[in-house]
Amino acid sequence: MKGMRSYVSLRRPTMAAPRVCVLIPTLRNSLQLEVVLKSLASQDHHSDFDVAVVGPTGDTGQEVTEKYGRRWIDDAGSRNRADACNVGIKAIDCDILLFTDDDVIPPSDWVGKLVRWFERPEVAAVGGPNFAPDEDPRWAKAADVAFTAKWMTAGTRYGKVPPGELVEIEHNPGCNSAYRKSVLDQVGGYEPGCIGAEDVVLDEKIRAEGHRIWFDPTAVMPHRRRLPVKPYMQQLRNYGYVRTLANARWPNLAVWSHSVIGFFPILVMLGIITLFAGGLSGGATEEPWFTFEGEWNWARIAFHGSLGLMCAYVVLCWSGAALGNSPHRNPFTVLVSPILIFLAHWSYGGGVVRGWKQIRFGGGAEAGLGVQLDDKDRSGQ
Domains of the chain: 5-144+152-225 (3.90.550.10)
pLDDT at 199 over 60: yes
Given this model, what pLDDT does residue 159 score? Answer: 56
Show Cβ contacts of residue 371 under 8 Å, excluding neighbours closer than 6 positions: 79, 80, 195
239-250 CB burial, b ≥16 within 10 A, e <16: bbbbbbbbbbbb
Q: What is the pLDDT of residues 28-61, one digit of tens each?
A: 999 999 999 999 999 988 788 999 999 998 899 9
Given this model, what pLDDT does residue 76 score? Answer: 94
Q: How confident is the model at residue 154 (pLDDT cuts 50, 70, 90)?
A: low
What single string gives the DSSP state of each residue in 197-213? -HHHHHHHHHHHTT--E
Query: Which pairing describes strands 20-25 and 167-169: parallel, antiparallel, or unpaired?
Result: unpaired
How far does the chain reach from its first CA to its final CA, in angstroms? 40
Given this model, what pLDDT does residue 282 score? Answer: 76
Peptide bond connecting 229 to the previous residue in cis, omega within 30 degrees of 0: yes
Q: Does the predicted TM-score (pTM) go above 0.85?
A: yes
- Cβ–Cβ under 8 Å, residues 59 and 77: no
What single string gives the DSSP state of each residue in 295-352? ---HHHHHHHHHHHHHHHHHHHHHHHHHTS--TT--HHHHHTHHHHHHHHHHHHHHHH
Q: What is the pLDDT of residues 114-128, one digit of tens each?
A: 999 999 999 999 999
- Cβ–Cβ under 8 Å, residues 88 and 73: yes
Q: What is the mean pLDDT of the segment spanning 62-91?
A: 96
Higher per-residue pLDDT: 193 or 158: 193
What whole-number percentage of the chain has pLDDT above 90?
Answer: 71
pLDDT at 106 over 90: yes
Beta-strand ranges (E) seen in 94-149 are 96-99, 125-127, 130-131
Quickly count: other Cβ atoms within 10 Å of residue 363's Cβ: 12
Q: How confident is the model at residue 340 (pLDDT cuts 50, 70, 90)?
A: very high
**For 135, which DSSP code?**
T
Q: What is the pLDDT of residues 179-192, one digit of tens each?
A: 999 999 999 999 99
- Cα gap 274→327, rounded to integer Å: 38
Given this model, what pLDDT does residue 279 score? Answer: 85
- Cβ–Cβ under 8 Å, residues 26 and 61: yes
Candidate from 74-88, 207-221, 249-263 with smallest mean pLDDT: 249-263
Q: What is the pLDDT of residues 264-289, one digit of tens each?
A: 999 999 999 999 998 888 777 766 55
pLDDT at 196 over 80: yes
pLDDT at 20 over 80: yes
Quickly count: other Cβ atoms within 10 Å of residue 109's Cβ: 15
Q: How confident is the model at residue 257 (pLDDT cuts 50, 70, 90)?
A: confident
The DSSP bridge partners found for residue 53 are 24, 72
Q: What is the mean pLDDT of the segment spanning 237-253?
A: 91
Query: Which pairing describes strands 213-215 and 167-169: parallel, antiparallel, or unpaired?
Result: antiparallel
